[in-house]
A and B are shown apart, each in its own frame.
Chain A
Amino acid sequence: MIVPLTLPGVLAGVMLVLLPAMGLFFVPDILGGSRNLLVGNVIKNQFLDARNWPFGAAASIVLTVTMAFLMFAHRLSKRRIGEEGA
């Protein structure tokens, strides 16, 4: 009962954390000893070190589309959960 009802909120919370976290390149740089690469690091490196803009741009697009898809899925699930709850 509680889980289905709070699910939209939980999902929204997950999204709120997930979205910014994907781009934060400086956290692994400082805390991860540059050993672990996130999408953000790859994009930043392509633009600011390797100068491979097309690849960096492609990576950005993939990231954006993933986000858009997640948001779409979130909307959809919210609607479905809403219907079931009612």
Chain B
Amino acid sequence: MTRWLPRTYLTLVYILLYVPIVVLVVFSFNESRTGYAWGGLSLRWYEALFNNRAMVNAMWNSLWLALSAATVSTVIGALTALALHRYRFRGKKLLNGMLFVVMMSPEIVLAISLLALFLLVGLQLGYVSLLLAHVTFCLPFVVITVMARLSGFDESLPEAARDLGASDFTMTRTVLIPVIMPALLAGWLLGFTLSLDDVVVSTFVGGPSYEILPLRIYSMVRVGLKPEVNALGTLLLVFSLVMLMLSQWILIRSKR
């Protein structure tokens, strides 16, 4: 009887979530420049996008930054998670708590603290400062993902491996890494996406020598909506969908 109520509600929620995206995608193929009038199908904005050197540059910069930030934070994060999981040491609770502080503190506060720090040590704002900042805010997410995986990890497995004569290295390679692989991938992807669309932190710690995509888009959108941005948004959407499917596929495969 009352089933229409939840249904309408859900429909509304989905409309709210997806209509803006659909609008963006549709208008990226719009021929006309101004306003939201339909002027026919066209790929001219994609062409304009790829002819815009500054934009393409920013795109590569962003990709490279996200790749490196995700990789570095995955390596450090995985090691941290292992240490926290396996060993008991002084300051373990503190370390654990501090990771949460980084994760929960408002991004803008983190950004300002990092900026002040970089200026204090005289680091030039650019790729290196961006990388350090991005690693900082990606790190806790990787640690938590890997820790969650490790908490369900059967401790007798590495012991069994050792009993069978495996060295530490062999054990890590054949037992530990395969077990935490999905978490590593998930953490890496998380870091990659976080880094790719960060505006707040990058506004503060970025410099003109290394312009990244979100900041470029931000300054473009401030000068009025440009159809190129729609095209770019569509490309990013497709890109993230592909990444998502890839990660799902890896996850499913690894479970078999």
Q: A residues engaging B (CB < 8 A)?
A: 19-20, 22-26, 29-30, 40, 43-44, 47-48, 56-57, 60, 63-64, 67, 71
Asked if B204 is at the interface of the complex by the 8 Å CB criterion, the answer is yes
A26 partner residues in chain B, CB cutoff 8 A: 199-200, 203, 218
Name which of A26, A57, A63 has the most chain B CB atoms within 10 A of its CB.
A26
A44 partner residues in chain B, CB cutoff 8 A: 108, 203
> Which positions 172-225 of chain B face chain A at CB distance < 8 Å?
199-200, 203-204, 218, 221-222
Closest Cβ of chain B to A55, distance in Å, is: 12
Closest Cβ of chain B to A22, distance in Å, is: 6
| Bound Cα distance A79, B105 (Å) | 22
Q: Report the interface size for chain B: residues with CB under 8 A from the other chain.
A: 15
Q: B residues engaging A (CB < 8 A)?
A: 104-109, 112, 115, 199-200, 203-204, 218, 221-222
| Bound Cα distance A30, B224 (Å) | 9
With A47-B115, A47-B204: A23-B108 Cβ-Cβ less than 8 Å: yes
**Could you pull out 20 A-B pairs where Cβ atoms are within 8 angstroms?**
A19-B104, A19-B106, A22-B106, A22-B108, A23-B106, A23-B107, A23-B108, A24-B200, A26-B199, A30-B218, A30-B222, A43-B109, A47-B112, A47-B115, A57-B112, A63-B108, A64-B105, A64-B109, A67-B106, A71-B104
Name which of B112, B203, B221, B222 has the most chain A CB atoms within 10 A of its CB.
B112
Q: Say which residue of B104, B112, B203, B222 sits within 8 Å of A60 (CB atoms).
A: B112
Contact A43 B108 (CB under 8 A): yes
Give the residue name and chain of the B residue nearest to A61 (CB): B109
| Bound Cα distance A61, B160 (Å) | 50
Contact A43 B200 (CB under 8 A): no
| Bound Cα distance A64, B107 (Å) | 10
Contact A23 B204 (CB under 8 A): no
Closest Cβ of chain A to B97, distance in Å, is: 12
- 10 closest A-B pairs by beta carbon, nearest first, are A23-B108, A23-B106, A60-B109, A23-B107, A40-B108, A64-B109, A63-B106, A26-B199, A43-B108, A22-B106
Q: Say which residue of A23, A30, A63, A67 sits within 8 Å of B221 (CB atoms).
A: A30
Query: How many pairs of A and B residues are in contact by the CB < 8 Å rule?
Result: 52
| Bound Cα distance A22, B109 (Å) | 10
Give the residue name and chain of the A residue nearest to B201 (CB): A23
A23 partner residues in chain B, CB cutoff 8 A: 106-109, 200
Contact A67 B104 (CB under 8 A): yes
Closest Cβ of chain B to A77, distance in Å, is: 16
Closest Cβ of chain B to A38, distance in Å, is: 10
Give the residue name and chain of the B residue nearest to A44 (CB): B108
With A23-B200, A30-B221: A63-B115 Cβ-Cβ less than 8 Å: no
B203 partner residues in chain A, CB cutoff 8 A: 26, 44, 48
A56 partner residues in chain B, CB cutoff 8 A: 112
| Bound Cα distance A25, B108 (Å) | 9
| Bound Cα distance A33, B231 (Å) | 24
Closest Cβ of chain B to A69, distance in Å, is: 12
Contact A63 B109 (CB under 8 A): yes
B221 partner residues in chain A, CB cutoff 8 A: 30
Closest Cβ of chain A to B12, distance in Å, is: 18
Closest Cβ of chain A to B6, distance in Å, is: 14
